[in-house]
Structure 1
Amino acid sequence: MSVYLGEFLGTMLLIILGGGVVAGAVLKGTKSEGAGWLVIVVAWGLAVAFAIYAVGNISAAHINPAVTLALAFIGEFPWEMVPGYVISQTLGALAGASLVWLHYLPHWGNTDDPAAKLAVFSTAPAARCFASNFISEMIATMILVMGILFVGANEFTEGLNPLVIGGLVMVIGLGLGGTTGFAINPARDLGPRIAHWLLPIKGKGSSDFAYAWIPVAGPILGGMLGAALYKIFFQQEYTIAYGVVSAISVFATIYAVIVNYKTKIGT
């Protein structure tokens, strides 16, 4: 099996399991309706773990463009393979979301809330402020990538690493996911959002592409920042590129603080 097919299948499995638990929790008339945030977060963590188990020995199971780009940024993954990985991940996410739609077919018509239907496919902020939403995704993905690099730097019992990374995703969701729903993965959000736009879902409402750039750009910058900080502080390596990414992240954070301050003053 090719590495690109591995990334496609791994990301598809991630979305089938992760998106599936959201569908069960928010769509009307399911056995798990109202299951809640804890169930969703735990399921996403386990979905990540099982996706890594499925294709880790084939493609290293990035299953996330932010991870792929971060590893390429610090020289641990070849840049020429990045486009193929990102395309495979995004298409896999789209396919996984389509299978979730098919699996829950009778329940879309029973659900009146368009926001609930969109939530099965993609993330949305609890408080809509693009600057702050961007920073939330940036910080959460920074922690994700740093955590993945920490795991790789330690020796675990053979086969345990995917569960550790799944636990990392769970704690990110519990600690940092309350603001934006912790996309922390451009493919996980964009692929299913496109599926929501394409699929014949009664009363689905807007796919909210105005927000779609946040869970793409925020995780990409956050992933590169996490990788850069790991290299700077834990491996004592520094390049101009690491400094540029760090500076951009600082300026973005300052901008978000200013925007929030001005918004509060205005109200």
Structure 2
Amino acid sequence: MSEAPAVTYNRVMLKISGEALMGDQGYGLNPPTVQRIAQEVKSVHDLGVEICMVIGGGNIFRGLAGSAQGMERTTADYMGMLATVMNALAMQSALEQLGVFTRVISAIPMDQVCEPYIRRRAVRHLEKKRVCIFAAGTGNPYFTTDTAATLRANEMACQAVFKGTKVDGVYDKDPKKHADAKRYDSVGYDEVLEKNLGVMDATAIALARDNKLPIIVFSLDEPGGFRGILAGKGTYTKVQG
């Protein structure tokens, strides 16, 4: 257990994969799972923390997978970006059903569906305690939603990126395949890159390192895990310099 004094984060980025929204279905959106994650976000929002979110699109379409099957990479990546918009809208609906005001902000303009990305407007939404869900990645092919999350976190002056996964931190090898896998309480950016620990892609890690932005890796499947870390409790790994 990582027990530490409570750390006050006023503004954070929560990055989750699209797969996190599909539950046990294997594809698409599982409404109870979306609702459960929304409850986790609300529990932190209720503490007064300003929250940004980036959600992947792998539960619907993954650009890299499409490219591997012969699809032109740029087209496949744009399809993946559109999948993230669908996930963002689903999360927005779940949050607003809980009374949390939310804005979906897309890097690709689609005015009838969500707002275009304008940094100052997004900052103002956060100041008004609205959850901002950034969709469509960076708006450019060849960049992952991990990189988009780190980029937006820096632009929004977030104090940390919270990476919600299916495991409770960063391990030296896959804990689901190796019983002797060792979990790190803390690990440096360069070690993550050198050992290819799979926290985020290399571009995202380098961007976090260059801007001294910590990444906190925790289990999204652990009830209350997101809120618990803000209280200095729970199991997680902190990636920092």
Is the TM-score greater than 0.5? Answer: no
Richer in strand (by share) = 2
Q: Which has the higher contact order (CA 8 A, sep 6+)?
A: 1
Decide which structure has the larger Cα Rg and report it.
1
Q: TM-score, normalising length from structure 1?
A: 0.26
Richer in helix (by share) = 1
